[in-house]
Amino acid sequence: MLAALALGLIVSPGAAPAQNLVVQVTTEPPGLDLTATPASATAGVVLYNVQECLVKVDRHGKIVPWLADRWHTSDDRNYTFFLKRGVRFHNGRELRAADVKFVFDRAMNPETKHPYPGYYSAISDIIVKDDYTITFTLKTPTANFLLNLARQGSVIYPREAVDTLKSEPIGTGPFKLAEWVRGDRIVLVKNPDYHVKGLPKLDRVTYRFIADPNAALAALKAGDIDATMFGLGPEHVPELQKDSRFQVILGETTNDVILSMNNSRKPYADVRVRRAVTHGINKPDVVKGAMFGLGRVLGTNVDPLNPYFVDMAGAVPYDPARAKRLLADAGYPNGFETVLRVSPQYAYSIRTGEVLTDQLQKIGVKVRIEQIEWSQWLSRVWKDAEYDLTIIGHAEAWDIGNYANPKYYFRYDNADFQKLFKESETTVDDRARRALYVKMQRKLVEDAPVVWLYIYPRLAVTKKGLQGVWKDLPLPANDLSEVAWAK
Amino acid sequence: MRRYIARRAAAFAATLFFVSALVFVVVRVLPGDPALVIIGPEGSPEAAARLREALGLNRPIAVQYGEWLARALRGDLGVSLQYDVPVGRLILSRLPVTIPLTLMAAALMTTAALPLGLYAARRHRRAGDYLAMLVSQIGIAVPGFWAGLLLILLFSVHLGWVESGGFAGWSSGLWPGVRSLLLPAFALGLFQTAVLVRATRSSVLDVLGEDYVRTARAKGVSELSVLGKHTLRNAMIPIATVAGLQLGQLMAGAIILESVFALPGLGRLVLGAITARDLPLVQGVILFVASTIVLINFVVDLLYGVLDPRIRYD
C-alpha cells in the first residue's frame, strides 16, 4: 500500500490550468431546475452562472438591468422591458420576448408547481409587443416586483428545453453545464457567446460535493480545491487567516440566525415570556461562543444588506434582572423547563443552543437540547410547529413576510403587523415604504416573536490570487462571472 | 446439489421480499417527508404539499408498496425522488466506485490478515504474537473515519502524494482510479483486517493443538507443509465464515468512508437518500446490497465444499 502511495509521487496530479476553478460545495443540488426547487444549493450553482433573469441583483444588492437593457413604468402597474439584442441561449437560439412570456406564463400556471407562485400573483397580463419588447401589467402596484424578477424562480430559459431543466439546464448565463456526475461534481464551462463582453473570465468551474467540513479543509490544504464558498465553519477561520496560501473573505449575508419561540404554545404565547427570553440572552457572547466572534449581532428580521435595515441590535439589551421580573410577572417566578429542538445538519445551531442553554439557566429557564435529524426537523418543527424553541438560519432575502403569515412555524399572529406588511407590499414610494419597514421592525422588537441572534457571516476561503469573489451575498447566489485568477 | 440451489434461491427471494417490505415500512414510518426535504425551508408548506401530491406520496403505503413491487418484479426500481433519474441507473453509476473500493479493502484484509494471523499463532505467547495482537488491537480501536482523516492529513496534506478525496474515474486510466481509492480502501479495511488477524490466529491455534498436526510433525513433515497443508486448510472454514461476513460489513463501512473521502459511491448515495427520504432510492440500494450479501454467503457456503471435500450439499 505504501509503495503504491509512493508511486503517486511520480504520477502526481498536474497543476490546474490558469483559469480553471475547483469550488467545494457542501450540499449537492437536489436538481438543477430553479423553477421546480427553492433549494439554495441549486441557486448556488445555477443562478447567474447558467441562467439569468431580466434584471439582476448585483454584488452591492442593487437591481440592475440584465437580459432587459432597460425598463420603463409610468404608473407602477405597467412595466415595459426592452430586451438586450443578440443574447443567445446555450443552444444557439436568440432570446426573444416570446421566451420571456412563456417562462412567466408557465410560472403562473398552478399545474407547473412553481416553488414561488406568490412572486407572480400580482401579474394580470403579459403582452409581447415585438421580439424585443414585453409589457407586464400588474393588478396593483407591487413594491418587490422588480426584485422578484431578479430572484431564482425568475430565470429565463428556452421553451424547447423545459423538459430537461432538472438535469441539463439551459440559459443565457456566462457558463454552460458540461457535466453533472451525481454524487461527485458539476462542471461548468465558459459560454463563448456570452452577451457581456469580456466575461466570464474563468474557462471552467468544477463544483465538488464535500459534505464533511474536515474533509473540505483537508482538500483545501492539499490543494485539491481552490475555494470553499460555504463549506467551512467559523472555527476554521483563525487558522486559515494565518496561512499565507489562502485568503479569507468575510462579509454580510441575508442569513439571520434566530431562536424561534412557538408563539402558539405556553409559555411563549405570553409576550412577557418572549421578552424575558430576549433580555436573558447576551448576543455578543453568543457570537463569541458559538461563532468564534464572527457574525453581526442582530436586533430584528431585516438584514444589513437590505436598504431598509435599521440597526436594532441594542433595542432589547441583555438584562437578566429585568428578564426575571418579566418571568415573575408572567407567573413563572421560578422559571420553567423547555425543550430546544435543533438539527445537527447545521453545527452552528447546536453550538448556539449550548451557549443559550447556559445563559437562559441564569434567568431560571432550564433548556434541554434535543437533536433531531434534518428531515424530522422539517416535518415536526417547520411544518407542524411541534416545538418550544428552535434555532435556524433564514437565508432568504426580504423574508419579513414570514411574520405576517400566522401559519408559519413561529405561529406569530398579529393583525397590526399583518396590516403593515400588506401595506408595504403595495407601497412603491421609497420613503413611504422605508417608514413602513421601520414601523414593522419596531413592532417586531416590541412583540419579540423570535430572538434575532446574529447574521451568519459570508465566509469564503480561496487560494491567494483569486479575484472578483463577491464579498457580501445580497441573495443566495454564487455569481462567478467576474471571478478570475490574477495574472 | 440442485435441490440445495433451489432451496437457496427460494430463501434468496424470500429475503429480498422481507427486506424490501421492511425498508418500505420503516422509511415511511420514520418522521420526515421527502417533499419537505426537496422543497427545504426556503419553500412553503403549500409548495411541499403540491410536490407530495405530484410524487404520489399521499396514497396509502400498501398501494405504493404494491405498485413498487409490481414494477420491481419487472426489473424497474422506480425513479429517484431527489435526482429524477432511474434508480437502476444511479446504482449502476456508483458501482465503479464501491465495488473496487470494497474489493481493494477485502484484498488488503485477506493478504495482511492471513499471514499475520498465522505468524501470531506460530509465535504463540512470544514477542511476535504480542506485537501482532497489539497491532490488531490498534486496528480495532481506531474508528475508520478517524483513520481516514489521519491518512488524508499525512498522505495528502503533508506529503501531497495523493488527492484528499474525490474519484478520478476509470476513463482517465487504471492508476488514477486506483490511486483515488487507496486511502479509503486502507481506512475501510483496517478494522476488518484486525478482526480477521484475531480470527485466523485463534482458528490456527485450535488446529495446531490437534493430534494430526503432532503426528505430521512426528513424521518429519516440513514446518511449511504442516502450516500450509495440515493447519491452514483445516482452519480455513471458520476463517472463510468470518471473512464472508466481513465483506458485507465492508459495504456498510463504505457509507462513512465514502463521505470522508467524498467518493461518489453507493454508500454516500444511500446516506443522502435516507436523509432526503428518497424512498425508491433507499429501497433500490438496500435491495442491491442485500442481494450482494446473500450471494456472498452463498459463495462462502459453496467454498466450504472446496475447502473440505467431506462437506456435501444434498
Going along chain A from its start, the domains and CATH numbers come out as: 2-32+173-253+458-485 (3.40.190.10), 53-158 (3.90.76.10), 256-455 (3.10.105.10)
* Yes or no, beta carbons of B269 and A183 under 8 Å apart: yes
Q: Which residues contact A249 (CB under 8 A, 6 or more apart)?
A: A458, A459, A460, A461, A462, A469, A471
Distance CA A44, CA A51 (A): 11
In this structure, the number of other CB atoms found within 10 A of the CB of residue A98 comes to 12
Contact assignment for B166 to A218 by CB distance below 8 Å: no
Q: Which chain B residues are Cβ-neighbours of A40 within 8 angstroms?
A: 40, 42
Q: From the centroid of its chain, how far is CA A185?
A: 22
CA–CA–CA angle A111, A117, A123 (5° rounding): 105
Query: A26: which chain B residues are within 8 Å (Cβ-Cβ)?
Result: none
Interfacial B residues in 199-238 facing A (CB < 8 Å)? none
Chain B residues within an 8 Å CB radius of A9: 161
Scored b (16 or more CB within 10 A) or e, B73-112 reads eeeebbbbbbbebbbeebbebbebbbebbbebbbebbbeb
The contacts of residue B294 (CB under 8 Å, 6+ apart) are: B11, B12, B15, B16
Interface check for B40 against chain A (CB to CB < 8 A): the answer is yes
**pLDDT tens track for B207-262:** 888 888 889 888 888 888 888 888 888 888 888 888 888 888 888 888 788 888 88
Q: Which of B33, B50, B178 sits opposite A379 (nearest CB)?
A: B33
Which domains does chain B carry? Answer: 2-73 (no CATH), 93-307 (1.10.3720.10)
* B30 contact residues in A (CB cutoff 8 A): 375-376
Report chain B residues whose CB lies below 8 A from the CB of A407. 45
Please list, residue by residue across A414-435, b when 16 or more beta carbons sit within 10 angstroms of its beta carbon and e when fewer do. beebbebbeebbebbeeeebee
Alpha carbons within 13 A on the beta-carbon side of B259: 19
Cβ(B273)–Cβ(B285) below 8 Å = yes
Mutate one of B164, B269, B275 to test the A interface: name it (highest A CB count within 10 A).
B164
Closest-CA residue of B relative to A182 is B264
Backbone angles phi, psi at A326, to 5 degrees: -65, -40
Eight-class DSSP state of B33: -
A218 to B152: CB separation less than 8 angstroms, yes or no: yes
Concatenating the DSSP letter of every residue in B143-210 gives -HHHHHHHHIIIIIIIS--S-SS----STT-HHHHHHHHHHHHHHHHHHHHHHHHHHHHHHHHHHHTS
Please list the pLDDT of chain A residue by residue as tens digits (487 residues). 445 444 444 444 444 447 999 999 988 888 899 998 888 889 999 999 999 999 999 999 899 999 999 999 988 899 999 999 999 999 999 999 999 999 999 999 988 878 888 899 999 999 999 999 999 999 999 999 999 999 999 999 999 999 889 889 999 999 999 999 888 899 999 999 999 999 999 999 999 998 888 889 989 999 999 999 877 889 999 999 999 999 999 999 999 999 999 999 999 999 999 999 999 999 999 999 999 999 999 999 999 999 999 999 989 999 999 999 999 999 999 999 999 999 988 889 999 999 999 999 999 999 999 999 888 898 899 988 999 999 999 988 889 999 999 999 999 999 999 999 999 999 989 999 999 999 999 999 999 999 999 999 999 999 999 999 999 999 888 999 999 999 7
Question: Which of B186, B261, B265 minimises the CB distance to A1?
Answer: B186
| A319 to chain B, closest Cα gap in Å | 32
With CB atoms and an 8 Å threshold, state whether B43 touches A115: yes
For chain A positions 283-312, those within 8 Å of chain B (CB to CB) are: none
Contacts of B275 in chain A (CB under 8 A): 373-375
Which residues of chain B lie closer than 8 angstroms to A11, CB-CB? 175-176, 179
Which of A390, A358, A395, A393 has its CA nearest to residue A377? A390
HEC string of B94-111?
HHHHHHHHHHHHHHHHHH
Angle between helices B87-122 and B279-307 (to 10 degrees): 40
Rg (CA), chain B: 24
Say whether residue A371 is in contact with chain B using an 8 A CB cutoff. Answer: no
Sign of the CA dihedral A145, A147, A153, A158?
positive
Backbone angles phi, psi at A13, to 5 degrees: -65, 140
